[in-house]
């Protein structure tokens, strides 16, 4: 073996080792679990909205991992609200990822319409519906998560009340909820405790908590703590009474939901019955309903029926939507 060939093998081995080391260092600095954890906590804190001093640290990872997209999204008027919606839903994705998914679904609908030779109104309707699917799923996840947090809030207030009675300060009591409670409320109180640890005042940290969790019960909790800090009083007793009030509210809401179940079932039946009957008639006798879609008077009747159905759905929805 010649000396030059042996030197080439040694240099190649060193280059491969350095390449692997560089890949590992890059992954450890950008994609490691520790970096993801810190990034998620920074993004969660940036969604609160009440930051003291220079807020650049909280805005670097808020909307996108790409600097160009970050600058572009910062110019969008509703990008911050969309990021807050992602945080309220408990999603770790960014705004750019969500918008990219919507764009891909829209392009998929347009391509499907062109390949299947649909009309332009149908193609646009399908594309719009596909683009709205991620937002609908996001709103559904947000609603489910907020309901879970509202159900866990009385236990969290009881835990804080017991910690205060045991002699702990309010900030360590919040940290106890973040470590001992269940998700998802534990993560929200953990973020609030981290904000206080980073130097944000307790009032602003609680306002951030109320912004991330737009729930009346959470606002009651935040207002009670802030007012008590300004006026004084027994915070442990106050939180105990507030948790009891929230539990009674949930009991009343459960009774109202049971009483309104009949109205909701009637609304679903009355809404779906015309479409089910029309579908059955179309299957058994397709020519019977064709006049409604080919004649001008039939089209006016269909539009009028849909308008009246929409009005009826709105009225029944307002009747069964009882605020507690």
Q: What torsion do the CA atoms of 257, 261, 262, 264 make, to the nearest 10 degrees?
A: 120
For residue 235, pLDDT over 80 is answered with yes
Specify the higher pLDDT residue, 40 or 310: 310
Residue 43 contacts residue 61 (beta carbons within 8 Å): yes
Question: pLDDT value at position 69?
Answer: 63
Domain ranges of the chain: 156-251, 260-320
Q: How far apart are the first and last CA of the chain?
A: 87
Choice among 5-19, 127-141, 288-302, 303-317 with the minimum mean pLDDT: 5-19
Q: CATH assignment of 156-251? A: 1.20.81
Whose tokens are 């059955």? That residue is 280
pLDDT value at 180 more than 50: yes
Indicate if the pLDDT at residue 198 is higher than 60.
Answer: yes
Mean pLDDT of 25-32: 64
| pTM confidence score | 0.64
Structural contact between residues 180 and 163, judged by C-beta atoms closer than 8 angstroms: no
DSSP string, 168-179: --HHHHHHHHHH
**Tens of pLDDT along 89-110?**
888 777 777 888 888 888 888 8
Report how far apart, in Å, the C-alpha atoms of 239 and of each of 2, 98, 184, 253 are.
Answer: 82, 38, 20, 21
38 falls in which pLDDT band (50, 70, 90)?
low
Q: Are 196 and 205 in contact (CB under 8 A)?
A: yes
Query: Mean pLDDT, the chain, as a whole number?
Result: 78
């Amino acid at each position: 073996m010649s000396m030059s060939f042996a030197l080439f093998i040694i240099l190649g081995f060193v280059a491969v080792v350095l390449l692997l080391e560089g890949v590992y260092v890059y992954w450890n600095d950008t994609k490691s679990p520790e970096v993801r954890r810190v990034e998620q906590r920074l993004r969660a804190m940036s969604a609160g909205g009440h930051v003291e001093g220079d807020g650049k640290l909280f805005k670097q990872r808020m909307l996108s991992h790409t600097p160009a997209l970050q600058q572009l999204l910062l110019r969008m008027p509703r990008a911050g609200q969309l990021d807050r919606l992602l945080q309220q839903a408990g999603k770790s994705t960014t705004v750019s990822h969500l918008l990219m998914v919507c764009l891909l679904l829209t392009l998929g609908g347009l391509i499907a319409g062109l390949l299947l030779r649909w009309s332009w109104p149908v193609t646009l309707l399908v594309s719009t519906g596909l683009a709205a699917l991620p937002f609908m799923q996001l709103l559904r996840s947000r609603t489910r998560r907020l309901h879970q947090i509202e159900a866990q809030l009385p236990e969290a207030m009881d835990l804080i009340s017991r910690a205060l009675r045991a002699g702990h300060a309010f900030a360590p009591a919040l940290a106890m909820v973040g470590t001992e409670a269940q998700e998802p409320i534990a993560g929200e109180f953990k973020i609030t405790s981290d904000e206080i640890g980073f130097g944000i005042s307790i009032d602003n940290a609680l306002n951030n908590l109320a912004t991330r969790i737009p729930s009346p019960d959470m606002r009651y909790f935040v207002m009670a703590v802030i007012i008590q800090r300004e006026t004084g009083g027994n915070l442990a007793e106050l939180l105990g009474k507030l948790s009891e009030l929230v539990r009674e509210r949930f009991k009343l809401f459960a009774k109202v939901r049971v009483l309104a179940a009949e109205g909701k079932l009637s609304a679903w039946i009355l809404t779906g019955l015309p479409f089910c009957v029309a579908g059955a008639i179309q299957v058994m006798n397709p020519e019977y309903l064709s006049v409604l879609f080919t004649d001008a008077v039939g089209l006016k009747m269909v539009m009028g029926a849909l308008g009246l159905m929409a009005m009826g759905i709105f009225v029944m929805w307002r009747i069964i939507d009882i605020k507690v």
